[in-house]
Structure 1
Amino acid sequence: MEDILITVTAEEQFQAWQSKVMPAVEQVRPGVWSIPVPFVGNPMRYTLCYVLVGDTAGGAGGGAREVALVDPGWDSDEGWAVLTAGLSTAGLSPKDITGIVVTHFHPDHLGMAARLREASGAWVALGEHELLPTHWRSDPGRFVTEDREQFTAWGVPAEYLDEVSFQAETWAQMTNVEEPQRRLADGELIPVAGLKVRVLSTPGHTPGSICLVDEANQLILTGDHVLPKITPHVSLEAQNHVDPLGDYFTSLDIMGVGADMEVLPAHEYRFRGLMARVAQLREHTLERSREVIAVLDAGEAGSVWDVSKELTWSRGFDSLRGFTLRLALAETASHLVYLSAQGRDVAIEVSRGAPTLFVEV
């Protein structure tokens, strides 16, 4: 089935996405399984977890087979039941999992990792540059205060501050994360016997986002970096992520390694036509930057809020509330930082708690 630029390779997944229902567990290749895990209470509905079955640790007859599980999904009792049932369909159980590889630190990818590690004893791995909020663990008050200060500096009116900034319960959720047992470097093979799956560092969506290239099966697992329809969110959120949008463009440039491979994204459905989709994502994102430039050139915007409210949003700016509004503001800020790096010279203050950046846009 043709979808303008890409070719859908998983018709049942595509139809399930269109119908807003969960797709089935599927065997993509011998030893490669796709298991949708519910993303409870979110319009994305599910995360596509992938299971990669390797060899026995010591070769033929040398012990238990090794298995990698990629992006176990949002943590919930419902999700755990679905994940374990999916593993059973693949002839596996949680105890068979050797390693848990997470493409990036977002709860719809990392969330189930702790529960799965407890059940399996498997190690958990993230990209070597992915940031975890461990620096906030000892000071929730500072976390809340500085987050609120960020949005105040971005020009958010007082009546919106409570809904866009993180609260104490958010601190608890974000800091209830253990350090991964392994960090994976760009170009490294994941350490699971019998697999030839290489790490591809793709910062942008997060500072340490990774994709995985299954060289034996000619598959590329793209996490949230490249999805078939949805444009990944790239925002100025994480500490020390200086230019997330610039990183994102650089990461799109290196996707040619999977140009002829089938794409296994973390949401929606599988497809071919990676480079056509990459070109589309690049143009869509540049068009947003051009829209930001037009707002700046009009000369009336003095803050991130002022710019955001003049941009085109699918249901209009006034419809954005709560976390969605937060994401819209952080996306706008990322464009301002990117444009600054490209030499724009109109001053807009952009801060991320500590440190504060004064960006020449």
Structure 2
Amino acid sequence: MKTRRRPYSAQRPADLGGGVWSVPVPIPGNPLGYTLVYAVDSPAGPVLVDAGWNHRDAWAALRDGLAALGIDVRDVRGVVVTHHHPDHAGLAGRVREESDGWIAMHEADATLVRLIRGMAGGSARDFQADMMRRAGAGSEADAVSVADRPDPPALPDLELQDGDLIDLPGRRLRTVWTPGHTPGHVCLYLEDTGRLFTGDHVLPGITPHIGIYPYDRNDVDPLGDFLASLDRVAELVDVEALPAHEWTFPDVAARASEIRAHHEEKLTVLRELLAGLRTAPPTIWDVAERMTWNRPWADLGPMQRGMAAGEAAAHLRTLEVRGLAGRVSGAPGDPVRFTTLSH
């Protein structure tokens, strides 16, 4: 079954067959519109894949959407969160309160959730502002750091590792660790029907955000991890994708190949940009300003500029790992700068 993206107002809960249902849950004020929350049936009760944004309208949509499919939210056995972002994990805690079920998340994202929950408002803002200054944001650092952010998600009861089977009696729902979009992003392979819940890892019409936080880290390579994760899911043949946004589609491998090509092209363009600025090595913020986004830089708000800088940093880091870019030493406290390297 394949559906096309429509506005949230045109979305309806759907029976996808094989004991799988989808419920569109709105994301207030976000151009994505909605998250597709999936319910997988079992003799011991349904398990949700993701839960949606923590908002009263989203909660009503999830609760009522499940009810329209004959599912009482109080009967939910558990929620598997594909990753910790608020449009996926936000309502997991509310579902747990109503159902007394469990929340499961990959251990790497669980670590991040504990870190986020341990940061008070002031310390979080200071962290953001310092990160922006080290990236070269200058006077924009404070504006980005005070942008509104949602409450952190609930802590999970279960921490997943790659290959784990989800507690879903009578079904085989296997964890496939696909880091990149977040360190602990997972896809979930429903082996008894040949379907893959792809979260944000493989989407049919857009590509997920891949960023580094803090921007100047040199001990991780999220984009490299993401590309390797794309190769991993591409090895699954004849698998239908059930993504968290947009629409379902039949060929995970083909779409994974397209997304890989998109990022390789972006890396090529970025290296050319660095070559043109070789006499004045740019900061991460300088690079972000010059890259192509879905809107002009001048039209991006503070949070969108911060995310753009994170994505610029991730692509710069992959070039660095490949030996195609390097960091330029400056005075202590100066923003990090990059230049192209011969290869």
- TM-score (normalizing by structure 2): 0.89
Please, which of 27, 31, 49 is the counterpart of residue 19 of structure 2?
31
Secondary structure of residue in 2 paired with 1:30: coil
1:82 — aligned with what?
61
- The structure with the largest strand share of the pair is 1
User: Is the aligned partner of 1:252 residue 2:230?
Assistant: yes
2:294 — aligned with what?
314
User: Is the aligned partner of 1:142 residue 2:123?
Assistant: yes
Please, which of 204, 208, 226 is the counterpart of residue 202 of structure 2?
226
User: Is the aligned partner of 1:214 residue 2:193?
Assistant: no
Describe the shift of the 1:20–1:122 C-alpha distance in structure 2 as closer, same or farther (beyond 3 A): closer
* Amino acid corresponding to residue 74 of structure 1 in structure 2: W
User: Is the aligned partner of 1:339 residue 2:315?
Assistant: no
**Distance in 1 between residues matched to 2:93 and 2:337, nearest whole Å:** 38
**Distance in 1 between residues matched to 2:338 and 2:166, nearest whole Å:** 39
Identity of aligned residues (%): 35
Please, which of 288, 291, 304 is the counterpart of residue 324 of structure 1?
304
**Superposed, which structure 2 residues align to 1:261-272 within 5 Å?**
261-272=239-250
**Distance in 1 between residues matched to 2:171 and 2:146, nearest whole Å:** 40
- Runs of 4+ off more than 4 Å: 238-241, 356-361
Measured after TM superposition, the shift of residue 69 of structure 1 is 0.6
**Distance in 2 between residues matched to 1:161 and 1:360, nearest whole Å:** 23
Q: Does the 8 Å contact 1:213/1:258 carry over to 2?
A: no
Measured after TM superposition, the shift of residue 28 of structure 1 is 0.8
Which sits farther off after the overlay, 133-142 or 87-96?
133-142
Describe the shift of the 1:68–1:360 C-alpha distance in structure 2 as closer, same or farther (beyond 3 A): farther
**Distance in 2 between residues matched to 1:230 and 1:345, nearest whole Å:** 27
**Distance in 2 between residues matched to 1:19 and 1:53, nearest whole Å:** 27
Secondary structure of residue in 2 paired with 1:272: coil
**Distance in 2 between residues matched to 1:246 and 1:208, nearest whole Å:** 14
**Distance in 2 between residues matched to 1:151 and 1:82, nearest whole Å:** 36
User: Is the aligned partner of 1:236 residue 2:212?
Assistant: yes
**Superposed, which structure 2 residues align to 1:34-53 within 5 Å?**
34-53=22-41
Measured after TM superposition, the shift of residue 349 of structure 1 is 7.7
Describe the shift of the 1:343–1:272 C-alpha distance in structure 2 as closer, same or farther (beyond 3 A): same
Measured after TM superposition, the shift of residue 287 of structure 1 is 1.1
Please, which of 72, 82, 86 is the counterpart of residue 107 of structure 1?
86
Secondary structure of residue in 2 paired with 1:195: coil
Please, which of 2, 7, 17 is the counterpart of residue 10 of structure 1?
2
**Distance in 1 between residues matched to 2:303 and 2:78, nearest whole Å:** 32
**Superposed, which structure 2 residues align to 1:167-182 within 5 Å?**
170=149, 173-174=150-151, 176-182=152-158
**Distance in 2 between residues matched to 1:77 and 1:357, nearest whole Å:** 42
Structure 2: segments with no counterpart, 5+ residues: none
* Amino acid corresponding to residue 320 of structure 1 in structure 2: L
The count of residues paired between Structure 1 and Structure 2 equals: 331
Q: Does the 8 Å contact 1:22/1:36 carry over to 2?
A: no
Q: Does the 8 Å contact 2:105/2:158 carry over to 1?
A: yes
**Superposed, which structure 2 residues align to 1:119-158 within 5 Å?**
119-130=98-109, 131-135=111-115, 137=118, 139-158=120-139
**Distance in 2 between residues matched to 1:242 and 1:224, nearest whole Å:** 20
Cα shift readout 1:302-345 (whole Å, capped 9, x = no counterpart): 20111112212232222222211111111000111111111134
**Distance in 1 between residues matched to 2:30 and 2:282, nearest whole Å:** 33
* Amino acid corresponding to residue 53 of structure 1 in structure 2: D
Measured after TM superposition, the shift of residue 360 of structure 1 is 7.7
Q: Does the 8 Å contact 1:95/1:120 carry over to 2?
A: yes
- TM-score (normalizing by structure 1): 0.85
**Distance in 2 between residues matched to 1:276 and 1:139, nearest whole Å:** 43
Q: Does the 8 Å contact 2:281/2:337 carry over to 1?
A: no
